[in-house]
Amino acid sequence: MKRVALLGMPNTGKSTLFNRISGASARVGNWPGITVDLMSAKILMGGHIAELIDLPGIYDLHGFSDDEQVVRHFLEHNAIDLVIIVLNSTQIDRQLSLALQIRALGLPSVLMLNMADEARRGSISIDIQAMSERIHMPVAMISAKYGEGFQAALTLAAQSIASSNMQLTLEQINSRLQADNVLEQEMESIVRDSVQMPAQLTDQTTERIDKVLLHPWLGLPIFFAAMYLLFQFIFTAGKPLQDGVAWLLQMLRGGVLEPMLAHVPTWLHGLLLDGIYNGVGTVASFVPIIILFFLIMSMVEDSGYLSRAAFLMDALMARLGLDGRGFVMMLMGFGCNVPALMGTRVMRSRNLRLLTMLVIPFSLCSARLQVFVFMTAILFTPQQAPLVLFTLYLMSFAAIFVSALIFKGRYANSEPFILELPPYRFPTPRQIVLRGWQEVGYFLRRATKFIVIGVVLVWVLTNFPSAAAPASNETFAGMIGSFMAPILTPIGIDTQLAIALIFGFVAKEIVIGSLAVIYGLQGDALMHLMAHKLDWVQGMSFMLFTLIYTPCLSTVATLRTESKSSAFMMLSIVWSLVLAWVVSFVFYQSARALGF
Amino acid sequence: MSSPLTTSLDNLHPGEKAAISSIHAEESLFQRLTALGFRAGKQIEMVRRASFNGPLHVRIGTTEIILRRSEAHRIQINTGL
């Protein structure tokens, strides 16, 4: 099998090209010595079966950043049959240096100049024949987004696959990369001979939009208003879809599963329906909101607005010892903490990275959102609910800021903050759907196992020893809850809620599922019971604790693997538990003191 | 202005253009700036400056970049083109 690597600078549409070539067949692969997740896919290229690998975006091969190190490591440890270099046509005058570096390494390569559509709009013309002759590798112009020139480029790539593959040593990489100045002169000469571009490319549309969105005074209010509207939209559109899924699940249980399992032993009936099916049902009923969330999120990300958010927020973030990228990662954390933590790899200062990783788990992720949507629906009117959710988002930011301020001395950094602002691009429906599909798939693969195992575990704990009545104080769960009571009573959390919190440590996705098993009810019946048993002060205290304490085992595992420090992981767990307890305690005791 | 005036990039006002004369930075920062098109002789334009002493938004050729004032301070420019 041939091995083909995709390599390019950041923001060149490399991943879009990867998705176009691989379709939806991509998966995360394991590579010797590389701790970063690399997407790969098996594809048919010419007559060959090839493995296509999407390498991280890099500016050069010198290895100053982690991503550059990953690429160097990859080239050092894997024989390569072809490197597909992806560059942005509209920035070819400075990006060509990467292609020249690859050529200097002697790797078999083909150059794909992406964003042909934008180049045309910007009156940039490239003589690919002349360029190809000068850099001694095939060159093709493509638009990965719209598919223009794609088939021809693939054919060119297939013809360029070397008859024998090539593996480099680190010494070879370093010795062949020596002459930067020579390379730069060559780049200028090639660009002079083969590229026609206006001295300044001004994208009128982007400039006009930026005038409003990056306005000195309007920029920030617009940013926060946009975020608020986004969440409002997700709930308004998500609610009927969620209800529909819940109804379907109920129909399936009553109409098919109950009659089918009528004659199995009671314990198996309980395990299958109250454990596994309830768990699966819990996942399924929240899928619509997660899909909506990531569809919207991918639009916000791909449009280039997130880089603008970094620009707007950097003044504040710099004061917290973080940077604008940290803010972008925190926003990603509002989808899921795990990829956000992995995304901090773009930061080159270890201290800045650790500080950012310490605060990201306070981002109110979609799993915690499930808990809050459920709880607010029980305890508040439909008019109050969005306001309560918004307050929780503000609390999430507050926890981030307070933690950053407390720990910024410990993790002081002097990392430069330099980011490209890409022009506004509206992603194609294909891009949005594919992105949403990948994110949802990732979420489900990760969450489903956790939820089902977690819910089954809770079912076992709440139904055994078999002499005890289900979910009563005599079950294992009740014993654990009673044991924790001295710590949790002062923050208004009773035994049942305590059990839900214990399992929330595994994953927030199982909290609602575990409540369903703890109370032996689900859907409207569960809501009625909880509304009867809890007042809003208790519910709010529970939500605050859920918001701030350890998000899930996956986050903990990611913290450890990314920081490569168990001590750092422990610090994160302990600090979040302490902060959660203090916040809930202050809220609960003040609210009670005020007579609520 | 008849003769070139040398100052640092963070002193440029929105809408003004200048030529980069030199960059004073350690190798990792220097490499990153070079990769993004910051090179001696290149023309650079200040697009906008963020409020509250936030980052600067500059344009070099076809690339728009945001960077902090502290990094911009290390880039020397010639005004009065």
- Residue A36 CA to residue A592 CA, distance in Å, equals 48
Kindly identify which residue of chain A lies nearest to residue B35, measuring between CA atoms: A59
- Residue A407 CA to residue A311 CA, distance in Å, equals 23
Chain A positions touching B43 (Cβ under 8 A) are: 199
Residue positions counted in chain A: 596
Size of interface A-B (CB pairs under 8 A): 107
pLDDT tens column, A241-260:
878 888 898 899 989 998 99
Chain A positions touching B68 (Cβ under 8 A) are: 314, 318, 416-418
Distance from CA of B77 to the nearest CA of A (A): 18
Q: Which residues contact A107 (CB under 8 A, 6 or more apart)?
A: A75, A80, A83, A166, A168
Domain segments of chain A: what residues? 2-196, 219-411+431-593
- Residue A391 CA to residue A364 CA, distance in Å, equals 11
Instruction: Tell me the residue range of the domain where B50 lies.
Output: 5-79
Interface of A with B (CB under 8 A): 9, 59-60, 62, 64, 90-91, 93-94, 97, 122, 124, 184, 197, 199-201, 210, 214, 216-217, 219-220, 307, 310-312, 314-316, 318, 324, 348, 416-423
pLDDT at residue number A205: 85
- Average pLDDT across chain A, whole number: 84
CB A587 within 8 A of CB A580: no
Asked if the Cβ–Cβ distance from B37 to A94 is below 8 Å, we say: yes
Which site among A418, A420, A421 would you substitute to test the B interface, given the most B Cβ atoms closer than 10 Å to its Cβ? A418
Largest Cα separation within chain B, whole Å, is: 36
Largest Cα separation within chain A, whole Å, is: 86
DSSP character for A84?
E
- Name the strand (E) or helix (H) holding A579: helix A566-593
Contacts 24+ apart (CB under 8 A), A495-499: A496/A471, A496/A533, A497/A534, A497/A538, A497/A542, A499/A458, A499/A461, A499/A462
Whose tokens are 């969450």? That residue is A447
ipTM: 0.92
pLDDT tens column, A372-421:
988 998 899 888 989 999 999 999 999 999 999 999 989 887 557 788 88
C-alpha separations of A12 from A41, A363, A461 in Å: 20, 29, 52
Asked if the Cβ–Cβ distance from B54 to A418 is below 8 Å, we say: no
With 50 as the cut, is the pLDDT of residue A51 above it?
A: yes
- Residue A520 CA to residue A435 CA, distance in Å, equals 37
CB A511 within 8 A of CB A375: no
Whose tokens are 């910024």? That residue is A408
pLDDT tens column, A424-464:
988 888 888 887 777 667 667 655 766 677 668 777 887 77
CA atoms within 13 A on the CB side of A87: 27
Chain A positions touching B62 (Cβ under 8 A) are: 90-91, 93, 122, 124, 197, 200-201
Kindly identify which residue of chain B lies nearest to residue A324, measuring between CA atoms: B55
pLDDT tens column, B14-65:
999 999 999 998 888 888 898 888 989 999 999 999 988 899 999 998 889 9
Q: Which residue has the higher pLDDT, A471 or A217?
A: A217
The minimal CB distance from B32 to the residues A93, A124, A418 is found for: A418
CB A333 within 8 A of CB A340: yes
Domain count, chain B: 1
Residue positions counted in chain B: 81
C-alpha separations of A372 from A71, A155, A245 in Å: 41, 52, 19
pLDDT tens column, A489-539:
999 998 888 878 877 876 787 788 778 877 877 778 888 888 888 899 999
Look at strands A48-54 and A2-8 and give their pairing: parallel
CATH class of A2-196: alpha beta
- What letters, b where the CB count within 10 A reaches 16 and e where it falls short, cover A530-560? beeebebbbbbbbbbbbbbbbbbebbbebbb
pLDDT at residue number B69: 93
The minimal CB distance from B54 to the residues A97, A314, A418 is found for: A314
Kindly identify which residue of chain A lies nearest to residue B36, measuring between CA atoms: A94
